[in-house]
Homo-oligomer: A and B are copies of this chain.
């Protein structure tokens, strides 16, 4: 079977590099084009890219010539690793021109007719594509994946909301350095330190994106889930893996065993469809008292699982627990890729 050619926008940055890495040897998709800034365009990928990942650059892209960001693309599927703010207009133009754009950028996430998608959480939101096309007159489409911290939090909340209802969430994150891109956080700020702030309205995203994803699909839009979240976001000296402490007030307080079972047995569309990048277990529960830990647990399910631990009673809300997600795999490029795989399996890429 011929693989679908794909383009990666912003392919030289850290998220772009993750796309390139995750697409290496992919059974359905094949990198056919890469774009970059004016500085990079015209050079080969190997020349223009300061490759920062620990595994080597895939051979297949080394000699690919980088296109300018506004180049005419011929691939039906486009992955966008563009930075927010510059991504929005370009992605719209590509969707208007018939491309399906799976984007990691924040610009369109909260557009009412754009699916903000985690395949395990809200696969039905893909129906918004019809609304989007009708309203905007596009033949293509934009599908966004959420913020890297919102991702593991929302995956955790999905079965809990369904079974017990959720009223209030308190979330305090300890986020990895890679979330700031490259060069990102100066080492002089990072070592022996924590920075209790993350720019780009990180806390607001964590307070609003989960509600959209966990919302009900109405006629033409999503009715956001009704719980309230407060977020504190911190940068810690960790390379990869965002850790989040959660306290949750439920509509109906479950027994501990029921809470545990709801998380442990959670499976969803990607597992049923056996999507290539889907982890066998979307939620991995660790029983040890000191897990999850970013370095030891971020690669669970090849970086596509959310790892959960320390489930215990909360003196203020009902339960507290700790969740971990790999921020540049499931929380960025891997999330977008899984979205595209779901669309492919649903026949939306043909």
Task: Identify A187's interface contact among B186, B296, B322, CB under 8 A.
Answer: B186
Interface string of A119-131 (1 = CB under 8 A from B): 0000000000000
Determine whether the beta carbon of B192 is less than 8 Å from that of A188.
no
Determine whether the beta carbon of B178 is less than 8 Å from that of A188.
yes
Determine whether the beta carbon of A322 is less than 8 Å from that of B174.
no
Which of A91-99, A132-140, A275-283, A286-294 interfaces with chain B?
A286-294
Minimum CB–CB distance from A12 to chain B (whole Å) comes to 15
Chain A: interface residue total (CB-CB under 8 A):
57
Query: What residues on B are CB-neighbors of A314 within 8 Å?
Result: 230
Query: What residues on B are CB-neighbors of A299 within 8 Å?
Result: 54-55
Q: Is A177 an interface residue (CB 8 A)?
A: yes
Integer count of this chain's copies in the complex? 4
- The CA of A293 and the CA of B235, in the complex, are separated in Å by 10
Query: What residues on B are CB-neighbors of A190 within 8 Å?
Result: 187, 190-191
Query: B-contacting residues of A (Cβ < 8 Å)?
Result: 14, 52, 54-55, 168-170, 172, 174, 177-178, 182-197, 207, 228-230, 232, 234, 236-239, 243, 245, 247, 289-296, 299, 309-310, 314-317, 320, 322
Could you name 12 residue pairs across A and B whose Cβ atoms are closer than 8 Å?
Answer: A172-B172, A172-B245, A184-B187, A185-B186, A185-B187, A186-B187, A187-B189, A196-B245, A196-B290, A196-B293, A230-B247, A232-B245
17 further interface pairs, Cβ-Cβ under 8 Å (given A170-B247, A191-B237, A192-B192): A14-B188, A52-B188, A168-B316, A177-B188, A178-B188, A183-B188, A184-B188, A187-B190, A191-B191, A191-B239, A191-B295, A192-B294, A192-B295, A196-B245, A196-B292, A230-B317, A232-B245
